[in-house]
Amino acid sequence: MGETIAAQPTLEAPPVEMRTGAFAMIDALGFKGIWRRHSARDVIQKLRGLEARALEQIARDRARHEIFHEVGGVLFRTDTSLLSDTIVVSASWSGTPRLGNPPIAQSGAELLARADWLTVHLVVEAITAMVVLAAADAPVPLAYRGCVSWGDFIHDDRFIVGSAVDHAAQGHEQAEAAIVWLHDSAKRVIDNPVATGLSGNPAASRDHFLTPYLVPLKKGTVDTYVVNPFLEDMKRDDRARVIARTLKTFDDPNLTPEEKGRVEAKRRNTEAFLTMHHDRWDAAVASMPRLVRYDDSESVTSSEVV
């Protein structure tokens, strides 16, 4: 008789729970064929740098909002994952909210709205840190586009699933420019009047990281918020350098004539977007000019995209 082989123990997967919060998916425009323009080693090193930058930003944000846990009973959780050039960032909060003493909000509704608002903010700020690094750092500049949503999701070390994942996954390749935009589900969180009028959470704070913009999509446009492509303390020369390096990512001598036409449209839209933000900081104005449209397609709401 042959030797009996003992059954191998089955490893139980850790329990997974659906969370509610902000979920973003972004990827690099023109990443296909990047190995023809840059060494694979430089590309991998760049992506690892993006992941490290995201983790650093997440750690800083958690420390800054620790008062919510200490006083308000709210604990924020932020996660990030990379699969090649695709980056996923999620954030949620848990705990038993309380007003605290001294109170950090005027009512329970305000506290919940503020926690939701900050959850979106955590994702957006991590994206800003990564996007600026992607564009600014040589020798492999990258131009990212993507979508931020709000809803239920699971985000563990290997799997992502949920309504927020569906919205972000369907929207992250829709922008016809290097723009990260808010799906209507996330936009409603930002627009919540209970949150936007909070002390310590003024509209001016929102205006740095998120600005109103008419985003060009593959089918029409969407009037929503976009993630600011520049850091708050970035100097004029540094912003100009980010613009130049971002636009350079659209230069690819291996494109076919048909591909060149599509890429040129994305380049024009990206240049208009970056120039608007660049001029905005120079002028220090609050009102946002709209994107110069390059087609005659109809505008849609961000919830109609998916």
Q: Which is higher by pLDDT, 15 or 208?
A: 208
35-37-39 Cα angle (round to 5) = 55
Q: What is the CATH number of the domain that holds 191?
A: 3.30.70.1230
Residue 301 lies in a domain: no
Which of helix, strand or coil describes residue 123?
Answer: helix
* Confidence (pLDDT) at 153: 96
C-alpha to C-alpha distance for 235 and 225, rounded to whole angstroms: 23
Q: Is the pTM of this model over 0.85?
A: no
pLDDT value at residue 155 = 94
> Rounded CA gap, 47 and 38, in Å?
13
Cis peptide before 97 (omega within 30 of 0): no
In a domain, 7, yes or no: no
- Summarize pLDDT for 204-254 with one digit per residue, the tens: 445 578 889 999 999 899 999 999 888 777 888 888 988 998 898 888 777
For 248-296, the pLDDT digits (tens) are 888 877 777 877 888 899 999 999 999 988 887 766 433 444 443 333 3
Residue 221 in domain: yes
Three-state DSSP string of 200-253? CCCHHHHHHHEEEEEEEECCCEEEEEEECCCCCCCCHHHHHHHHHHHHHCCCCC
Flag whether 304 is in a domain: no
> What is the phi/psi pair of residue 171, to 5°?
-95, -20
**Position 282 in a domain:** yes
Q: What is the pLDDT of residues 36-86, one digit of tens each?
A: 788 888 888 888 888 888 888 878 877 766 666 666 678 888 888 888 889
Please tell me the predicted confidence (pLDDT) of residue 23.
97
Rounded to the nearest 10 degrees, what angle do helices 236-248 and 257-283 cross at? 170
pLDDT digits (tens, 9 = 90+) for 98-140: 776 666 667 778 888 888 988 998 899 888 888 877 877 768 8
Q: How many domains does the chain have?
A: 1
247 within a domain of the structure (yes/no): yes
Residue pair 168/183 in contact (Cβ under 8 Å)? The answer is yes
Q: How confident is the model at residue 14 (pLDDT cuts 50, 70, 90)?
A: low
CB burial of 26-45 (b: ≥16 within 10 Å; e: otherwise) equals: bbbbbbeebeebeeeeebee
| DSSP 8-state assignment for residue 197 | T
User: Is 38 inside a domain boundary?
Assistant: yes
Check residue 238 and give its pLDDT: 87
Report residue 304: phi and psi, to 5°: -85, -5
Question: Which domain range does residue 83 map to?
Answer: 19-296
Burial class (CB in 10 A: 0-12, 13-18, 19+), 98: middle
Q: Is residue 8 part of a domain?
A: no
Could you read off the pLDDT of 160-172 as tens digits, one per residue? Answer: 999 999 999 999 9
Task: Look at 180 and 109; give whichever has higher pLDDT.
Answer: 180
d(CA 233, CA 144): 21
Residue 175: Cβ within 10 Å count: 27
